[in-house]
Amino acid sequence: MCNKLYALVTIAIVLFVTSCSENELSTFSPEELAQVQLSIDVENKLATRVISDGAGANTLVYAIYDEEGKTIVPKTKVENINDLKRGHQITLPLLYGKTYTSVFWAQNSACTSYTISDDMEVTVDYTGLNNDETRDAFFASETFTVNTLDYKKEVTLRRPFAQVNVGSYKYEVEMAEKLGFKVAKSSATIKGVSNKLNLITGKTSGYVDVETDVVETNELVQDVEYESATIPAEDLCVDIDDDGTKEEFSYLSMSYILADGDANGTKEDSEGRTTHEMSFTFSDNSGNDIVFSSGLQAVPIQRNWRTNILGQVLSTEPIKPGISFVVKIDPTYIDDINYNNGFFYIYDQNTTIEEKEFVFSSLEHSAEFGTPKGTDDIELTYKNVSFRGNIGYICFGVYKTGTPNNFLENVSIENLTINSKWGITNNNRCIAFGTYFYGNNQLKNCTLKGTKIDGPKNVDGKYINQANLVLDDYFDCAFVNFAKSTIDGGEYGRIYNYEHAQTTVTGDAHISEIVTTTFKTHGGYLRIEGGTVDKITVNPTFLSGDSYQPIIIIEAGATVKEIDFNGKKATDVVNNSGKDIIYTNVAS
């Protein structure tokens, strides 16, 4: 069974006046001197041992500072704590009315990877084995004022690390064993990771700013290379479809790496999220290796969260319907908010994906291919790639993040089954799409057709979306607002063209139908320069008024057989093809 884990260290600070000799009180009056009792407790009462349960933290290092930063209690180490979950107490004399900052670090005494300086800065040594649970550690920095004699305060210690996990579908591991490869060990390479942590401020040194690629102090940024070690014995449990139940994967790799953030590592601290290039090597006991690095150019991490890389990771070709892998951040020990709704393939540099097949098996997910926010100049090229199976939808370019330049050549997206649940409302119609295109797109000799629909239905047996709206229609693909796209050759079923989209058809492309809503404002248009379009349909529920007339241009050499205007005027259609076009439902 997969349990939700809480590995939290809580410090309760209780102030009380002790009996003191007359000499001891020669400087302070009784109400000015208080004894501070630190009660350390790990709030995790699990009966069984699992990865990241915090049970290994048996050494505590702490220091206390005043408002001016003067050391009141120097770095102090307490070792051989039997069980922090049962509590450990430290008593210190502090002054009533004064403000202090307490700094704590808790770790496993068996781990020799951390060095703590007298000014409470941790240096991380990344040499050593992968899958090392002894590296799990916790910290906190908390400022408090001693303002009552029975003053109490709780401070929660959280991880300064991100935990990076790799898990495989169990059927894939079983298939690999049948083929003679039984995974026994794994190693990990993670690029551009910080190696210093200021426990007082909570800030790391040497991290890379992914927005600007600026590096603070190069010598503090390291490429982590954890050596091959035995894989975890337990399952990796993650709720990838957000249905409240955690699915079980075969645990193949686990790595702790230092992540930037605030001093308390809270959920709201998203500024510390960074992306890193990663690679993992899986080995059997006979010296055979499988290297997993494709698509891991920009894997996100965040302090006190888990990044789970899940799915089919041992083989390059699909074993059975399922995706290659999904990268998903899990905010472990904070709550269960998920980083995404589906499968994200995020690239932070120009990337070519070729000779690959993506086979999807879940209507509950989307598959989005994009770039980090603010990186619209990145080029993603897909050559001889196919997509098939069951999926909520596919998206080239991630809405509100990166909208790269997409180049698709000989790409096949055929016979997808998509989910009506993800249908959207556009111009008073509830419609669903197999594939979305954002940003700049060039499609050359591609095939997009045969999309089917599945999903929830109402009592009348009609497909509905998650807002319980009846689905009016669905399409093979859509070019969204402000997307600039060229279709050069290939075979297409039904295309939906948004209001402000700029779409050009050329070459020998053949398209069954284009439903268009392009209009004058914002430069939207549909231009047919070549190929054959069997039918163009103006959105039947589109906005009224001359300013919303569809902009359609048919150039010489192109063939458009029919245009259905659905009660709109034909004044903004330019036919330079020299060929007759059947006009239907034209407004007078």
Is the entire prediction scored with pTM above 0.75? no
Alpha-carbon distances, residue 222 vs 202, 213, 307 (angstroms): 19, 15, 19
What per-residue confidence (pLDDT) applies to 556?
94
- The residue assigned the tokens 């990186």 is 375
Give residue 215's pLDDT. 43
CA atoms of 93 and 70, how far apart (whole Å):
16
Find where tokens 């020669």 sit: 26
User: What radius of gyration, in Å, describes the C-alpha atoms of the chain?
Assistant: 30
**In a domain? residue 320:** no
- Strand partners of residue 37: 14, 91
Which of 74, 72, 173, 57 is CA-nearest to residue 120? 74
Q: Is 104 strand, coil or helix?
A: strand
- CATH number of domain containing 84: 2.60.40
Residue 313: what pLDDT? Answer: 82
Contacts (Cβ under 8 Å, ≥6 apart) of 411: 382, 383, 384, 385, 386, 387, 443, 446, 447
Q: What is the pLDDT of residue 162?
A: 87
Q: Is residue 171 part of a domain?
A: no
For 284, left (φ over 0), alpha (ψ -120 to 50), or beta? beta
Is residue 373 in some structural domain? no
Rounded Cα gap, residues 310 and 312, in angstroms: 7
- Give the chain's largest Cα–Cα span: 110
* Structural domain boundaries, residue 126: 9-159
- Establish if 17 belongs to a structural domain: yes
Q: Which of 354, 353, 358 is nearest to 321 (CA)?
A: 358
- How far lies 508's CA from each of 366, 437, 531, 533, 557, in Å? 31, 21, 4, 10, 10
Which tokens is 574 given?
Answer: 């330019």
Task: Give the number of domains in the chain.
Answer: 1
* 19 half-sphere exposure, CB direction, 13 A CA radius: 0
Distance CA 233, CA 419 (A): 36
At 544 the pLDDT is 52
Two structure tokens written together for 194: 């910080």
- Tokens 């192109």 belong to residue: 558
Give 155-213 as a 3 state SS string.
Answer: EEEECCEEEEEEEECHHHHHHHHHCCCCCCEEEEEEEEEECEEECCCCCEECCECCCCC
C-alpha to C-alpha distance for 466 and 21, rounded to whole angstroms: 72
Q: How many CB atoms lie within 10 A of CB 333?
A: 24
Residue 466, pLDDT score: 83
Give CA–CA dist 269/197, Å, rounded: 16
**What pLDDT is stored for residue 504 in this prediction?**
96
Contact 195, 123 (CB under 8 A): yes
**Mean pLDDT per 10-residue interval, the chain, length 588 residues:** 34 27 30 53 36 74 91 90 65 82 89 95 95 90 78 74 88 83 95 91 66 45 91 85 75 92 49 79 91 79 84 62 44 33 65 83 78 74 91 76 80 95 83 93 97 95 91 94 93 93 95 83 83 90 56 92 85 87 88
Per-residue model confidence (pLDDT) at position 527: 94
Q: What is the pLDDT of residue 398?
A: 60
Which of 364-393 are b and which e, b meaning 16 or more Cβ less than 10 Å from the residue's Cβ? bbbbbbbbbeebeebebbbeebbbbbbbbb
Would you give the DSSP letter of residue 288?
-
State the pLDDT at residue 180.
86
Question: Rounded to an integer, what distance in angstroms lies between the CA atom of residue 561 and that of residue 68?
Answer: 81
Closest CA to 504 of 473, 539, 522, 479: 479
Q: d(Cα 224, Cα 532) in Å, to the nearest integer?
A: 54
Q: Do 490 and 443 touch, CB atoms closer than 8 A?
A: yes
Q: Exposure of 277 by Cβ count < 10 A (0-12 exposed, 13-18 middle, 19+ buried)? A: middle
95, 146 Cβ separation under 8 angstroms: yes
Asked if residue 141 belongs to a domain, the reply is yes
Give domain status of residue 19, yes or no.
yes
Q: Is residue 118 part of a domain?
A: yes
In whole angstroms, how far apart are CA 454 and each of 215, 428, 473, 552? Answer: 48, 21, 12, 32
Does a structural domain hold residue 102?
yes
